[in-house]
Amino acid sequence: MRLFNNLATVALSSFVTLASATILQNGQVRDVLFPDTQIATVTGNDSAWTSYPPSASGISYKGSAPGLKFGFTGDKVALSFGEHTSPGVLVGYRLDGQDWEFTNVTAGATHQFVSASTPGFDMADDAGAPDTLRTFELYVSNWAFGVQVVGVHVAAGGQLVGLPNFARKVEVIGDSIASGMYDTYESMAGWAWDLGAGLGNVEFGVTAYPGICLVDQDCWGNPRGQAFQWFRASDTSPRARQMYGELSEQAEMWDFESKQPADLVIVHLGTNDNNTANNVPPGLYYDTYVEFVGKVHEVWPQAQIILVGLWNGFSRVGSTWREVGAFVEDIYRVYEYYSEEGYVHYFNTTGILQHNDIAPQYHPTDVGQIKVASHLMQYVKNTFGWDFGATGPEVQHETLYWNDQEAY
């Protein structure tokens, strides 16, 4: 969770080229060209730049992918990355409501993301005015990687401007499926992103780790389950364990009090508990789930909590296919346990996905993730009366599939 912290700037060299990278799509190389954004080190306020420390009040850190967002004036934005930046990590970023762009960033380097030639820069209504307020956002695309921001730079004469948070907040507690594992842009392609960014008018956090169980035990390399780890400041990735130490009973608690409370919590856990490889004793999943929901309610007594049903893949039955399901009854029983209280809801996923929405590595495809998110968005709208706020700008990148031939 806590992937950003404040250390002194470390810096390196510069060059400007285009870097090609590899995204494999159905085993074929997808043609992507990520611009190389690295520039010469920016060390502080000078004739070209106005610099801010990572602690500047205008910067809003987001727990979503994770990422950050701020407003600025002037015609450029650069960030300096510290030593705890995963080498070559792919980040998504955008100016205002322009399409997402992706670039690999480097530890100890400064990268420029916005200039006057950035697509859309001169398209604002009052783009000519030096005090035009623009928005910049950046997110890390991979659940296991992170960046450490050690400096934020805008044009000399420009300013960093804080943007208000959205009034509502969504928290997703999940595993690899919500993390977008094996999806094209990973964290920025999982259903949790598709939902949060897709609602468009909410803050959202995603606390989701591939392989993790709900039950507090080692599952596929995660030393603890979400029943323990969700309440702690560090996460279970090797990078976080290196930075914050092993998760133990002494691990620092996450400071929920100081953060915007969630209005809606969505729990999507159990696919790993349901796998025989992890040997979760029968009955423990249900008991843990009941207790967990109660504890989440203690953290945010005003929050609504949605329990997501688990499809758990599809298998051939005769000459057709059937959803396998995991803990289907148990999750419904957890909902029933709390149904009188009114704040727990059950989201039935059966029939949203079909067998070809699951990729060979057992996770939903980009399309599958979008289907789950779209149904969940409508569920949230119908159940809680929330409106949709993403009414134009891109949410999912490179999902434009079309046909421009006729009569074939």
Ligand X SMILES: *[C@@H]1O[C@H](CO)[C@@H](O)[C@H](O)[C@H]1NC(C)=O
Q: Which residues bind ligand X (CB under 6 A)?
A: 19, 21-22, 44-45, 50-52, 88, 90, 104, 274, 276, 325-328, 332, 348, 350-351
Q: In Å, how far from its chain's centre is CA 158? A: 29
Task: Kindly state the smallest distance separating residue 209's Cβ from ligand X, in Å.
Answer: 18
- C-alpha to C-alpha distance for 71 and 154, rounded to whole angstroms: 10
Q: Which residues pair with 307 in a beta bridge?
A: 267, 346
Please state whether beta strands 89-95 and 134-140 pair in parallel, antiparallel, or not at all (unpaired). antiparallel
Of 24 and 407, nearer to ligand X (C-beta) is: 24
Q: Which residue is associated with the tokens 């399409």?
A: 99
Of 203 and 273, nearer to ligand X (C-beta) is: 273
CA-nearest of 145, 277, 282 to 219 is: 277
**Tokens representing residue 364 in the block:** 């939903």
- C-alpha to C-alpha distance for 287 and 295, rounded to whole angstroms: 13
Of 80 and 254, nearer to ligand X (C-beta) is: 80
Task: Kindly state the smallest distance separating residue 232's Cβ from ligand X, in Å.
Answer: 25
- C-alpha to C-alpha distance for 391 and 199, rounded to whole angstroms: 9
Task: Kindly state the smallest distance separating residue 19's Cβ from ligand X, in Å.
Answer: 4
Report the 10 Å Cβ neighbour count for 168. 17
Residue nearest to ligand X (CB): 88
Of 23 and 233, nearer to ligand X (C-beta) is: 23
Task: Kindly state the smallest distance separating residue 335's Cβ from ligand X, in Å.
Answer: 8
Of 19 and 129, nearer to ligand X (C-beta) is: 19
**Tokens representing residue 359 in the block:** 């990729």
* Alpha-carbon distance values, 370 to 172, 189, 366 (Å): 16, 8, 6
**Tokens representing residue 376 in the block:** 């969940």
Task: Kindly state the smallest distance separating residue 332's Cβ from ligand X, in Å.
Answer: 5
Task: Kindly state the smallest distance separating residue 305's Cβ from ligand X, in Å.
Answer: 17
CB 180 within 8 A of CB 87: no
Task: Kindly state the smallest distance separating residue 123's Cβ from ligand X, in Å.
Answer: 27
**Tokens representing residue 168 in the block:** 């509502």
- C-alpha to C-alpha distance for 33 and 21, rounded to whole angstroms: 7
Percentages helix, strand, coil for the chain (3-state, rounded to 5) are: 20, 30, 50
Whether the bond into 66 is cis, omega within 30 of 0 = yes
Task: Kindly state the smallest distance separating residue 168's Cβ from ligand X, in Å.
Answer: 27
Of 104 and 110, nearer to ligand X (C-beta) is: 104
CA angle 165, 210, 330 (to 5 degrees): 90
- C-alpha to C-alpha distance for 7 and 26, rounded to whole angstroms: 41
Q: Which residue is associated with the tokens 């990422």?
A: 67
Task: Kindly state the smallest distance separating residue 278's Cβ from ligand X, in Å.
Answer: 8
- C-alpha to C-alpha distance for 367 and 273, rounded to whole angstroms: 25
Task: Kindly state the smallest distance separating residue 54's Cβ from ligand X, in Å.
Answer: 11
